[in-house]
Chain A
Amino acid sequence: MEFVLQNFINAMQWGSFYALIALGYSMVYSILMLFNFTHGDIFMTGAYIGFGAATVLLFLTASVGISVPGWLLLILTILISMMLTSLLGIIVERVGYRPLRDAPRASAAITGLMIGIILETGNLAVLGARRFSFPSLIEAVTYNIGGVYFTNKKILIVGVSLFLMLLLHAFIRKSRWGMAMRAMSYDYQVVPLMGVSLNMIAPMTFAIGSALAAAAGILYGMAYPVLDPYMGVLLGWKSFVAAILGGRGSILGAALAGFLLGFIEIFTAMIFPSTLRDLIAYTIILLILTFRPYGFFGQPYTTQLRL
């Protein structure tokens, strides 16, 4: 029993990352009908910006000589990184996608891949190939309840992820901007005729998606504190799987599928030999897609997509 509970906690943490990153894929898809393949590398950049921000903050507080509680530094780090990374998202949209908005979809998808490679190798060129250790802003405390171990970091990661998802949900459902996004997701060619500017909504969507990816990057850095220029590649692909599994363009679906993917991976490793983990996990997903080709909440192309 405690074995299952332990893996439940492991899966919650692991699924949080998939969910947060999958949201970015889904949002962009629902507006522009294209998958932003740069997203995994935006996640990586977010983690590195967070690393830079945390290092600078630690240095500043140490040189001024004031002791700032770790959680405050963490919140600042997350906010700074979310802001700067959403700026990056806006730039990616402006430079990479807007000029190709009327080009074939395949060209736009390739643009995403190329910008991703530029971010990876640019990072390699600027920072060199050495790995960085993400500073532990908050002291890790391990709790043991009946043989189930978890740290304060795990609670924080899952908590912050859920909070951000609810915030996004409220934004899309309750705000005027959210309403504009929902309208745009019906048809990005007709809705601009009603006075909603696609050149406003598309960058905003990229900014929000990138901000979520940045938050995921920092949380990831706290859980797995070795930063690597290619850390976003595999995670990006798998989160893309989650976005498809949730149903293209469905926010709720992406979040749920992200967690589901985490659970499938962790629990297949629990039941089967871990060598076969990805083999079995992704066969299961293939089976799900065979029976639900549009994912959980997706709809066929003939019906309109909605957020």
Chain B
Amino acid sequence: MHKSRAVLVVFFMFFMAFSFMSCGKEREARIKIGINAPITGDIPKVGEGTKYAAQMWLEEIEKAGGLQVGDKKYKVELVIEDNESKAESAVKANTKMISEDGVLIIIGPQSSKQAIAAGGVANDYKTPMISPWSTNPDTTRNRPFVFRGCFLDPFQGPVVANFVKEELGFKKAAVLYDVASDYPKCLAEYFKKAWEGINGPGSVVAYESFTTKDADFSSQLTKIKGSGAEFLFTPQYYNEVALIVKQARELGFTAPILGSDSWGSAETVKLCGPACSGLYFSTHYAAAGAKGQTKEFIDSYKQKYGYVPDDVGALTWDALRLAQKAIQNAGSLTGDIAKDRQAVRDQLAKTKDFEGITGKMSFTEEGDPIKCAVIVRISDKGEFEFYKQVCP
């Protein structure tokens, strides 16, 4: 008994000694960039796109021998943390990356549910953070250190409403959304407001909701069908889109179904199949028919990972390029992480007319970019086709 305990103690001491030793090693000049992504959880495809885009960016940096800041070349290291698509895990991941890993800047989290919570941590610790995909205004509101790479929900709501009015000429709308998730809930509200602004009060004839993890929408869809709505707007994520569209068709709801940028995943068509052909959604970029540097990105991504990148991949790429540019514009790094973080933030805030692959952007004071939205149609082959551009 005593012997085994002694062995344990010796073991423990060795372990401690080793861990101190590794601290003693001299540090190389490195820039650490944190990635906060939903690798597991409800939307793993989003996490995968984030990771792949980040790795592609890193490869490009490594090919150039490192990141040139002023007259010095720095090695770049990515710290990728899984937030399990949960707000509390995203907060944990941010805290760890900021205090333990000492990252200079954080890219992510992607969905608003996590980005709103995690953005608070980044701002409190004065660490710049860019959420590539979060469209909810609260993510950046009153947070000088938090930025985003995409347009906002208050803009996306009216985009869809105007598009339906002009292109399809409908008068009665139905909405189905997840009441327990920030992104769909707010977008549903903005859409409702915009639609009633155009068509008058009462023009949203069905406003139905469900809770995350629900799979059966039959009673909501029965209600929607009975309400006489001419189309359904459902700002949900890809796994729910497949279920909603299929169930709606099986219940005899034949009207068009529209969505938002959360549809723009490579998985949507895979899970939904032909049932989703011909449907429209608003998003950040359209892969089919892209030109210039957007096409270059799509081609090399496709070559590497075997599928066309969705908007998350493209926006993550843009966010990393924004970060890269801000770090380079800072001129030089002092090695004092707090000072460097402040310098990078100041440079990010100054960004003007940045040519991203998802469009041109300039940051407002809130850290939100001014950029255009695209309406995409899902073709019969299941590709995301460019249909129309809508600018603010």
Chain A residues with CB under 8 Å of chain B are 3, 6-7, 10-11, 13-14, 124, 128-131, 133, 140, 142, 144, 149, 151, 153-154, 220, 223-226, 228, 230-231, 233-234, 265-267, 269-270, 273-275, 277-278
Contacts and interface: CB of A to CB of B under 8 A. Distances in A.
A13 B218 contact: yes
B208 interface: yes
Contacts of B220: 269, 274
B340 interface: no
9 contacts: A11-B219, A14-B216, A129-B40, A131-B239, A131-B271, A149-B250, A225-B242, A226-B243, A273-B208
Given A131-B239, A144-B252, A7 B219 contact: yes
A66 to B, nearest CB: 25
B251 A124 contact: no
Contacts of A274: 208-210, 219-220, 223
B219 A224 contact: no
A interface, over-half SS? helix
Contacts of A277: 210-211, 219
Interface string B244-257: 00110111100000
Contacts of A220: 215
B70 to A, nearest CB: 40
A6 to B, nearest CB: 5
B28 to A, nearest CB: 33
Given A140-B250, A226-B243, A269 B40 contact: no
Given A6-B251, A129-B47, A226-B239, A266 B219 contact: yes
A10 B218 contact: yes
A3 B222 contact: yes
Interface string B184-219: 000000000000000000000000111101011011
A228 B209 CA distance: 21
A142 B252 contact: yes
A278 B222 contact: no
A3 B223 CA distance: 8
B117 interface: no
A298 to B, nearest CB: 27
B65 interface: no
A234 B42 CA distance: 14
Nearest to B242: A226
Contacts of A144: 252
B228 interface: no
Contacts of B44: 128-131
Contact of B40 (A124, A223, A233, A278): A124
Contact of B243 (A224, A266, A269, A275): A224
The size class of the interface chain B forms with chain A is 35 or more
Interface of B: 39-42, 44-45, 47-48, 179, 208-211, 213, 215-216, 218-220, 222-223, 226, 239, 242-243, 246-247, 249-252, 267, 270-271, 273
Nearest to A234: B213
Contacts of A153: 250
A183 to B, nearest CB: 39
B216 A226 contact: no
A129 B39 contact: yes
A128 B267 CA distance: 14
Contacts of A10: 216, 218-219, 222
Question: Which of A13, A153, A154, A270 counts the most B-chain CB atoms under 10 A from its CB?
Answer: A270
A47 B239 CA distance: 17
Give the 4 A-B CB pairs with smallest separation, nearest first: A129-B44, A10-B218, A149-B252, A269-B219
Contacts of B267: 130-131
A117 B329 CA distance: 47
B40 to A, nearest CB: 4
B42 to A, nearest CB: 8
Contact of A270 (B41, B216, B223): B223
Contacts of B42: 228
Contacts of B210: 274, 277
Given A142-B250, A226-B271, A6 B222 contact: yes
B194 to A, nearest CB: 21
B215 A224 contact: yes
Question: Which of B40, B41, B215, B246 counts the most A-chain CB atoms under 10 A from its CB?
Answer: B215
B222 A7 contact: yes
A154 B45 CA distance: 30
B179 to A, nearest CB: 5
Contacts of A269: 219-220, 223
Given A129-B44, A224-B216, A231-B215, A3 B242 contact: no
A6 B247 CA distance: 13
Contacts of B40: 124, 129
B93 to A, nearest CB: 16
Nearest to B212: A234
A117 to B, nearest CB: 13
A110 to B, nearest CB: 22
Contacts of B251: 6, 149
